[in-house]
Amino acid sequence: MKDNLVTIFGGGGFLGRQVAQALMARGARVRIAQRDLATCLRVKPLGGLGQTQLIAADVTKPASVERAVAGADTVINLVGILAGDFDTVQHRGAETVAKAAAAAGARALVHVSAIGADAESPAAYGRSKAAGEAAVKAAFPTATILRPSIIFGAEDQFTNRFADLISKAPVIPVIAGDTKFQPVYVTDVANAIVAAAGDPGAFGGRTFELGGPQVMTMAEINGWLARMIGRDRPLLPVPGPLAKLISLLPGGPITGDQLKMLGRDNMVSPGAEGLAALGVTPTPMAAVAERWLVRYRRHGRFAGRAKA
């Protein structure tokens, strides 16, 4: 990857910053393509002089995408949303990136989708992810598709969100407590992306599902987090009808589409290629999460080491 120019759509986000750092450590030049450049200013000082570029781009605006991929050797698309117009962003936007990458002569395209991408999904999120994958493959047949499970890391909206709720509530409300997940560490996902980008001859045209070393239910995840922050609370399962009512509340903690996604397990499919095929060893949550979860304990880092 040394001296290659890599355009990263969504490179200023939670996962994008990790991908950018991994690429720069390998000597690549990185162009961060972001709709709001203010969100990616933190990436600029992470590389050497002239190693990082910032460019305003929106996957729903083809002209801006074309500018962002001009001259790029490799294109990485990380753009995704949890609410809003899924088809415009995750289907048509992905198609726009793939077509522009092909037209620009990029040698590799890595498209990050999600476990749960399914044309028959009851959720618009899952259907749009599947449609995006199909559009990417049609426009750029040698693209590598990566489907991570839920991603955890120091700045995530997963472990931090639940730990914050647990630290404030007398009980832990749990929606879809039996649904299974295979949480994957953000650094592992970033390294998988870089591995795929660095060897399109080996990994191009293939689909990989990325999951961590543990499968846990939603209830187990909440219980584990509670123990990690020293705030063991009783779990309160939220009945399906009540969860559906909550999902209808404006600005509520969960949308109707997210509730539909929670109706299915979020795990690597049996027989699917995963992190190991990309040369990445999965990291358990217990090995790293204490570093950022410590702030949710009653006395912070003075509270003593938690037992996982």
Number of domains in the chain: 1
- Which residues, in sequence order, are CB contacts of 214 under 8 Å at separation 6+? 182, 183, 284, 285
At residue 302, the pLDDT reads 64
Q: Are the C-beta atoms of 194 and 19 separated by less than 8 Å?
A: yes
- Among 91, 72, 74, CA closest to 194: 74
Residue 104 lies inside a defined structural domain of this protein: yes
In a domain, 274, yes or no: no
Q: Considering the domain boundaries, does residue 261 fall inside one?
A: no
58: amino acid identity, one letter: D
**What does the pLDDT profile of the chain (308 residues) look like in tens digits?**
888 999 999 999 999 999 999 999 999 999 999 999 888 888 877 777 789 999 999 999 999 999 999 999 999 999 999 989 999 999 999 999 999 999 999 999 999 999 999 999 999 999 999 999 999 999 999 999 999 999 999 999 999 999 999 999 899 999 999 999 999 999 999 999 999 999 999 999 999 999 999 999 999 999 999 999 999 889 999 999 999 999 999 888 899 999 999 999 999 999 999 999 999 999 999 999 999 999 999 877 665 555 55
What is the extent of the structural domain holding 79? Answer: 5-155+182-210
Q: What is the pLDDT of residue 144?
A: 98
Domain for residue 93, yes or no?
A: yes
Q: Does 173 fall in a domain?
A: no
Please state the pTM of the whole predicted model: 0.94
The answer to the question of residue 161 being in a domain is: no
**Residue from 55, 52, 143 nearest 101 by CA:** 143
In this structure, is residue 228 part of a structural domain?
Answer: no
Count of residues making up the chain: 308
Q: What is the CATH number of the domain that holds 114?
A: 3.40.50.720
pLDDT the model gives residue 50:
81
Q: What is the reported pLDDT for 4?
A: 92
Evaluate whether residue 253 is within a structural domain: no
Q: Which residues pair with 29 in a beta bridge?
A: 5
